[in-house]
Amino acid sequence: MPSRSDAKPEARPRGFNASALSGAVLLRVTGQRGEALSADRIGRDLGQFLMHRLSPGDWRTVLDKTLVELAEDGSITRHANRVAPTSHIWRQRDGLLGCRVSLDTGWAELRDVHLVARALDITGEPRRRRTLLGSEGLRRAVLEKAFDQRFRDAKDYASLRDALARLALRRGSVIGDAAVASRLLPPKERRAQAATLLNHVRRPPATDAQLVAAMAAEQLGAHRTSAGALRLELLRRHLTGDGFALGTVAPPPRRRFDLAEFLQEVRNFARQLAQGWQGNRRALISRVFPALTGAHPDWGLDVTRFKLLLADAHRAGRLSLVNADLRDRSIIAELQASAVAYHNMILHFIRVEDEASDAA
């Protein structure tokens, strides 16, 4: 008969973050405003975040072990199925949250603000923490965490859209001023540019709010875009130790290039595709784009970024863009696809003669 020392220790179920769970249980106990509550109530309130990983039996085992550990360090007392906080727990809670919290703070606020702030690593930032109750503030905080950015100037959905459009441009191939480039785009095209950060979208969302909501939900892998769905998925990932669905994944590698290299290739293809007579030879932008991207797929250029670069070069005098003075109905679709908005003009062609030297 094997001795007691030979017995294997009882295996603890896996699939959760023990430290994060202990903190969540501590918060749930303090969320009764100093009153006792049943272990079953704690199990129901926190079980929704772990039911996809632990069976009901495993969850009861994990919760019981967590309560035993909190009782051993003096944070709670247990009488039968009742759990009550001790005076020691309040200092622990303030240390856990990185701020002083009123004893009257209920579980709903502790969960939706303070536990969410722990999941987003912003417990020490009271201004950002206060915005988490609103849908807009929660979505912005999720995107800041996912992309490791601070959108400090984003006061509403429109300014957040612009910040995301600049981020999309910086993540592209071109070394340049993303802020200047994004200002050249009308709002609808800025939304389309920001939507390139989405992995699973057929067409850009119709509004800025829908764009931000879809992007935040995708980063968490949430099936719905509501604030409640975001909190549920965020706390699930916090308590199970999972990272964000997409935010930690590096963007696909692309070869970066400078503007001089880009303009040299644009001129080469424009010369090959140009039509007209000496002194007025020009190529449709919509014809140069597929030729250029076909030759350089590693640049990762989309049509929006391509037109931004053309407009920026035209503004700097390094390339000449001209409009269509005579509309040929046979190429009207190509003219529409070539359109580049520049101030109060619409430009369609790249002029291939007499343009400023790129070396200038």
> Can you count the helices (H) and strands (E) in the chain?
17, 8
Through-space distance between the first and last CA atoms of the chain, rounded to whole angstroms? 90
Strands 282-284 and 82-85: unpaired
Which residue pairs, CB below 8 angstroms and at least 24 apart, start in 354-357? 354/279, 354/320, 355/267, 355/318, 355/319, 355/320, 356/317, 356/318, 356/319, 356/320
Half-sphere exposure of 130 (CA within 13 A, CB side): 2
341 vs 73, more confident: 73
CB 247 within 8 A of CB 235: no
CB 175 within 8 A of CB 256: yes
How far, in Å, are 132, 225, 321 from residue 108 at the CA level? 12, 20, 58
CB 27 within 8 A of CB 96: yes
d(CA 20, CA 49): 12
**Tokens 């003219």 correspond to what residue?**
335
pLDDT band of 360, cuts 50, 70, 90: very low
Report helix, strand or coil for 59. helix
| pLDDT recorded at residue 202 | 61
301 vs 104, more confident: 104
From the number of C-beta atoms within 10 Å of its C-beta (0-12, 13-18, 19+), residue 229 rates as middle
Q: Which of 133, 89, 83, 84 is nearest to 108 (CA)?
A: 133
Helix H or strand E segment including 83? strand 82-85
Report helix, strand or coil for 35. coil
CB 356 within 8 A of CB 319: yes
117 vs 15, more confident: 117
CB contact burial 310-328 (16+ within 10 A = b; e otherwise): bbbbbeeebbbbeebeeee
Mean pLDDT of the region 199-213: 82
Report helix, strand or coil for 125. coil
| pLDDT recorded at residue 59 | 93
240 vs 8, more confident: 240
Mean pLDDT of the region 308-333: 83
Mean pLDDT of the region 21-25: 93
| pLDDT recorded at residue 3 | 47
Mean pLDDT of the chain: 83
Least confident range from 213-217, 227-231, 267-271, 303-307: namely: 303-307
| pLDDT recorded at residue 2 | 45
Mean pLDDT of the region 290-312: 83
Q: Which of 89-98, 171-180, 335-344 has the highest mean pLDDT?
A: 89-98
pLDDT of residue 300 exceeding 80, the answer is no
pLDDT band of 171, cuts 50, 70, 90: low
| pLDDT recorded at residue 7 | 45
d(CA 187, CA 157): 12
Mean pLDDT of the region 226-232: 92
The answer to whether the Cα torsion of 329, 334, 337, 339 is positive or negative is negative
pTM exceeds 0.85, yes or no: no
The proportion of the chain whose per-residue pLDDT surpasses 90, expressed as a percent, equals 38
Mean pLDDT of the region 44-67: 91
pLDDT digits (tens, 9 = 90+) for 119-153: 999 888 888 888 998 999 999 999 999 888 888 88
d(CA 222, CA 203): 19
| pLDDT recorded at residue 354 | 53
| pLDDT recorded at residue 248 | 41
CB 339 within 8 A of CB 348: yes
pLDDT band of 333, cuts 50, 70, 90: confident
| pLDDT recorded at residue 183 | 58
| pLDDT recorded at residue 192 | 81
Phi, psi of 186 (to 5 degrees): -70, 160
Mean pLDDT of the region 25-35: 91
Contacts of 117 (CB under 8 A, 6+ apart): 97, 123, 125, 128, 129, 132
pLDDT of residue 339 exceeding 50, the answer is yes
pLDDT digits (tens, 9 = 90+) for 262-291: 999 999 999 999 988 888 899 999 999 888
